[in-house]
Amino acid sequence: MRFQPRLAFSLTAAATVLALLGAIFSSPGLAEKKSDPALDEARKDVKMLDDVYKTAVVLITDNYVTEESDLPAGAAAKALFAAVKEKGWHEVRLLDVSGEPYNDENVPTDDFEKAAAEKLKDGADYYDEVQTQDGKRVLRAATPIPVVLEKCIMCHENYRDVEEGAPIGMLGYTIPLD
């Protein structure tokens, strides 16, 4: 019988905590995320674009790169990315995550790119953030690039000893949301 007051107090305290948590999590914006169709569509677009771009690089490398003097698929991809950006669609950057960039243009420069590079090196297969640029919402997203063909080593000898599947680079996307 001595412990009943403590038990009653504990049950009352537990009920109070549960009521507070219920109130907090039923508050608008905390319990459920609002639907964001533009964000959902942009994430879907990133997956599609990523598949298209990476498939193109593999096809170019596999079919058209036969010696070191050939146009590297990475250079062709960067030219494509520049044309897409110039037309106002979206931005894509080819970035290094290995610490041994092919050239200095490929080094992650801002906080998002640096964080994405770390996440992808740690095994993530996708990383994104919603940001505001020039007063407009954008989706910043990143996906890993592993060495997938032996031909990749032709231009990137430093990747010869990279563990299979480990990212040596990433594609960094900026997709307008509004």
Of the candidates 93, 84, 175, the one whose C-alpha atom is nearest the C-alpha of residue 137 is 175
For the cut 70, the answer to whether the pLDDT of residue 175 exceeds it is: yes
pLDDT tens figures, 16-55: 444 444 444 444 444 456 899 999 999 999 999 999 999 9
Of the candidates 103, 101, 119, 122, the one whose C-alpha atom is nearest the C-alpha of residue 168 is 101
Distance separating alpha carbons of residues 101 and 58, to the nearest angstrom: 19
Distance separating alpha carbons of residues 149 and 68, to the nearest angstrom: 15
For the cut 80, the answer to whether the pLDDT of residue 72 exceeds it is: yes
The residue ranking higher by pLDDT, 175 or 28, is 175
Per-residue pLDDT, 32: 53
Name the token pair of 151.
Answer: 């031909």
* 168 and 98 Cβ atoms separated by less than 8 Å: yes
- Whole-model pTM: value is 0.78
Of the candidates 159, 178, 177, the one whose C-alpha atom is nearest the C-alpha of residue 168 is 159
C-alpha 108: how far from chain center: 13
In single-letter form, the type of residue at position 108 comes to P
Q: Does domain 35-176 have CATH number 3.40.1710?
A: no
Least confident piece of the model among 27-41, 108-122, 131-145? 27-41
Hey, where are the domains in the chain?
A: 1-34, 35-176
pLDDT tens figures, 93-110: 999 998 888 788 999 999
Name the token pair of 92.
Answer: 């894509």
Per-residue pLDDT, 151: 74
The residue ranking higher by pLDDT, 131 or 100, is 131
Per-residue pLDDT, 18: 43
